[in-house]
Amino acid sequence: MSNEITFSIDGTIVKGKPGQTIMQAADEAGIYIPRLCYLPELTPHGSCRVCTVIVNGKPQTACTQPITEGMIVENDTPELKEHRRNLVDMMFIEGNHFCMFCERSGNCELQAMAYRLGILAPKFPFFFPDKAVDSSHKDIFLDLNRCILCGRCVNASNDIDKKGAFGFVGRGIHKKIAVNSEKNLKDTNMAVTDKAASVCPVGTINKKGTAFATPYGQRMYDEKPIGSDIEAKNK
C-alpha cells in the first residue's frame, strides 16, 4: 500500500499520510485553512466550524475529516469566506468582546481571524449576555464574557493535565464553561503551569500579572495576519 495520499485543495495538489486530517496535511503543505477551536496537540473539537471546507461537494470540518485518495477540497472560495465571516461575527455578538481594552488584544486568535477575514465590525445585533468573571484563583482569572466555547481548556485539562478542571454545562445558547467545583476556580486543582492555562485562543483564561508584558505593536498578530506562519512554509 502506498504511504502517500494525493488530493487537492483549491486545485493545488497536496500529498499527505494515511490517517492525517485535511487540516494536518494542509498545514504541512503550507496551505492555511482558517480555524479557531483547533490546536494541533489536542483532540479536534470541531465546534467553531470556521475550518469548514467543501469535500467532494459536501461540507466537512478540515480538523476532523480524514484525507482520502483523490478527494477534492475547496477552501478559499467566496462562499466559504462568507460563511466564515458569519461564524466569526456570531462569536463576537454571542459574548461581550471589548478588543480595545482586552489584555489579549494582538494575541487573540478571534480578533486576528476577524482582521484576516476583513471584519471591522460585526453586522449582527449584539446579545449583551450577563456573564461571570471568576478571579478567585491566585494565579488565573476566568472571564466568560470572552469565551467562544472552543473547548480547548476542557480537552487540555482532561487529556493532558489529567485534571478535568473544566466542563461544559447548560445547552443551546445557555451552554457555558464551568469549573470542576461548586463555585470557583480556586476550589479546583488547576495550576497556572497546566496546559489548560495556556491554550485559550481569546481572553477568557488569563494568567494574573502577565498582562501588557509585551507592548502593543510587538504582539503575535500585530504585523502579520494569523496563519502567516503556515503560509510561510509554502513560500
Partner 1 sequence: MDRSLQTEVERICKACGSDRTRMMDIVRAVQEKYSQVSDDAINLIAKSVKCNRVEVESVVTFYAFLSKQPKGKIVIRVCNDIVDKMSGLDRVAQAFKRELGIDFGQTTPDGITLEYTPCIGMCDQAPAAMVNDEVITYLSSDKVKELIDDLRKHYDPAKLKHRLGDGNNANELVHSSVHNGVRKKGRVIFADYKQEAGLRNAFAISPVEVINEVKNARLRGRGGAGFPTGMKWQFTRAAEGDKKYILCNADEGEPGTFKDRVILTERADMLFEGMTIGGYAIGAETGILYLRGEYAYLQKLLEKILTDRRSKNLLGKDILGKKGFNFDITIKMGAGAYICGEETSLISSCEGLRGDPKTRPPFPAQKGYLGHPTAVNNVETLCCVARIMEMGAAWFAEIGSKGSPSTKLLSISGDCRLPGVYEFPFGIKVSDLLKEVGADDTQAVLVGGPSGQIIGPNEFHRTICYDDLATGGAVVIFGQERNMVEIARDYMEFFVEESCGYCTPCRVGNVLLKKYLDKILDGKGEPQDLDMLKSLGESIKVTSRCGLGQTSPNPVLTTLKNFRGVYEKKVKKYADGLQPTFDIKKALADAEAIANRKSEIYV
Site residues, partner 1 (CB under 8 A): 44, 46-49, 52, 59, 61, 64-66, 79, 82-83, 86-87, 90-91, 93-94, 123-125, 127, 148-149, 164, 166-175, 178-182
Q: Distance between CA 144 and CA 203 in Å, rounded?
A: 9
Q: Distance between CA 202 and CA 90 in Å, rounded?
A: 15
Cβ proximity to partner 1, 19 vs 217, nearer residue: 19
Cβ proximity to partner 1, 59 vs 210, nearer residue: 59
Question: In terms of Cα–Cα distance, which of 138, 135, 193, 197 is closest to 166?
Answer: 197
Cβ proximity to partner 1, 5 vs 106, nearer residue: 5
Shortest spacing between CB 171 and partner 1, in angstroms: 5
Cβ proximity to partner 1, 49 vs 219, nearer residue: 49
Shortest spacing between CB 77 and partner 1, in angstroms: 11
Amino acid at 198: S
Amino acid at 7: F
Shortest spacing between CB 11 and partner 1, in angstroms: 21
Cβ proximity to partner 1, 79 vs 100, nearer residue: 79
Residues 6+ apart with CB under 8 A from 119: 85, 88, 89, 92
Alpha-carbon distances, residue 154 vs 53, 176, 179, 198 (angstroms):
25, 11, 9, 12
Shortest spacing between CB 111 and partner 1, in angstroms: 16
